[in-house]
Amino acid sequence: MALKKRTLVFVASIWLIGVTTLSFAQTSNLSELRAAIDQSIVEGDMPNAWWTVKIVEAETGMPWYEKDTGRSFIPASNTKLFTTAAALEILGPDFSYETSIWSDGWVEDGVLKGNLIVRGSGDPVIGGRFNDGDITEAFRAWADSLKALGVTRISGNIVGDDNAFDEIHLGEGWEWDDLTFWYGAEISALSFNDNCVDFRLIAQKEKMPAELAWEPANTSYVSAVNASLTVAEDHSITEGYFREQGSNRFTFSSLVPQGRTDYESLAVSNPTAFFVHVLRETLVAQGISVGGSSVDIDTTPFSPSYSSLNHLFSHFSPPLSEIVRVINKRSQNLYAEQVLRTIAVNAPLAGSGLIPGSAAMGISRSKEVYGKAGIDTLRIQLVDGSGLSRHNLITTTMMTNLLRYMRHHPDPSVRSAFLESMSIAGVDGDVRTRMRGTSAEGNARAKSGTVGNASALSGFVTTSDGTELIFSIISNHHTVPATRPRQIQNEIVSLLASHSRK
């Protein structure tokens, strides 16, 4: 997500900001339903917006409603549905990343005489997400593994090898003002803690700076200018963060009310260097001294030939089925980008001439899946895996074709992993606050998407008489707050959930 979500609350069937008073009473035929959807869009008071909507039966593919389904729209984070669908089919739900640890030296009298090399494969989840928030748990386990090999000192450097991916660390068309934040984190085959530092500003006495600290362990990889201010407790938090491009120097100008703490994960520059820097700090903290420094392999002439190196041990990620849940429920951009490039690494398109480990290679390979879903791959335009780019263009027909293909996927493990990765309306993920108090709550499975002037919602919902529907609802070019198109999307899905033909 490029914009922060805002909570949406319904009172009965009336929008709090008074956009419409359309009832969610059951409609009894398709013409009534279509008229109600039209009314939702018209009365949504977004006259300069473009809308596209497609609703089909999941079982038969029969269309229930279509609006501008042949026109291309920016899908925002709905792009993640394309990425995760392709990844699950191509890599398989049980796919796991291997991060391997090597040395070009030997152990003598407790000293590893040489460099320690960490070879990345694109694992996006090393950090706290799958370790109950314990950010350095994996690195401490690696220290234990080194100690078990008799290592108490490393004479050389800690080298990070990120060469599995190409050297383009941002998605095509990403906007510069997203790059400070977690959702604009740089991409690397060696990634740690979502390639972010977790900052906290703790209010102190009024008119004094807030206390600034960060994880992991106040790492020296970043520096900070604390221009924050503690304000009276009746104020709200006013966030102010900035990272100088190409640096890891952060400036904080937040206003933090007394008794409050402001938390924010902010993206670092050069994730590979960040990875090995914190690894070195952790090894030292665990009693393993390091004579050399931490280095990104791209900044050195070092070119390892792994057939001649010593493999010490490996670290394995959770399965892809668990990673795609984070991608779709959390709308985690970095993970989607890593997975897209992982397709390129593990299933490259022969003879394509594309760069190995690149987004372009991953997208080209994924188009084979999209073609099987009945999507015109000459008309779809995808440039990243997350949807942060405004260069992505799809139609709602493409989206409903993809969702229907995955709903009936011949491999039940792929089908279930995809469906379970989607959020449940009013319950969890990126639609946890939406459609509460309607027939769609606990019913609709959906993926939201938001970038500037674009909003999308696509997924599955079951009507009151048991018919499963697939929907895709996208708005572009609106100039109203993001809550407005979300409200219209919510109402349309709620209308579908309450519909009955009996």
pLDDT at 23: 41
pLDDT score of 16 more than 80: no
Q: Which band of pLDDT confidence, cut at 50, 70 and 90, is reported for residue 45?
A: confident
The CA distance from 454 to 70, in Å, is 17
The CA distance from 167 to 298, in Å, is 9
Q: How many CB atoms lie within 10 A of CB 217?
A: 13
Query: Mapped to the 3 state alphabet, what secondary structure does 92-128 carry?
Result: CCCCCCEEEEEECCEEECCEEECCEEEECCCCCCCCC
3-class secondary-structure state, position 153: strand
pLDDT at 9: 32
Choose among 494, 362, 385, 364: nearest CA to 441. Answer: 494
Cis? peptide before 216, omega within 30° of 0: yes
Residues 473, 455 contacting (CB under 8 angstroms): no
State both tokens at 94.
Answer: 């049980």
Q: Which band of pLDDT confidence, cut at 50, 70 and 90, is reported for residue 27?
A: low
Average pLDDT over residues 462-470: 97
Query: Mind listing the domains of the chain with CATH numbers?
Result: 10-93+321-498 (3.40.710.10), 98-169+271-316 (3.50.80.20), 176-267 (no CATH)
Query: Mapped to the 3 state alphabet, what secondary structure does 324-351 carry?
Result: HHHHHHHCCHHHHHHHHHHHHHHCCCCC
Lowest mean pLDDT among 34-38, 300-304, 463-467: 300-304
Average pLDDT over residues 408-421: 98
The CA distance from 364 to 343, in Å, is 10
3-class secondary-structure state, position 255: strand
Q: Around 56, how many Cα atoms within 13 Å sit in the side-chain half-sphere? A: 21
3-class secondary-structure state, position 160: strand
pLDDT at 237: 96
pLDDT at 501: 80
Average pLDDT over residues 90-117: 97
Spell out the residues 6+ positions from residue 38 whose beta carbon is closer than 8 angstroms to its own. none
The CA distance from 10 to 438, in Å, is 9
Helix or strand holding residue 257 (H, E): strand 255-257
Q: Which band of pLDDT confidence, cut at 50, 70 and 90, is reported for residue 10?
A: very low
Q: Which band of pLDDT confidence, cut at 50, 70 and 90, is reported for residue 425?
A: very high
Q: Which band of pLDDT confidence, cut at 50, 70 and 90, is reported for residue 28?
A: low
The CA distance from 164 to 172, in Å, is 19
User: For the packed helices 359-372 and 79-91, what is the interaxial angle rounded to 10 degrees?
Assistant: 80
pLDDT score of 26 more than 70: no
Choose among 168, 384, 182: nearest CA to 268. Answer: 182
pLDDT at 166: 97
Q: Which residues pair with 295 in a beta bridge?
A: 159
Choose among 111, 93, 102, 143: nearest CA to 325. Answer: 93
Q: Which band of pLDDT confidence, cut at 50, 70 and 90, is reported for residue 8?
A: very low
Average pLDDT over residues 67-87: 98
The CA distance from 489 to 325, in Å, is 22
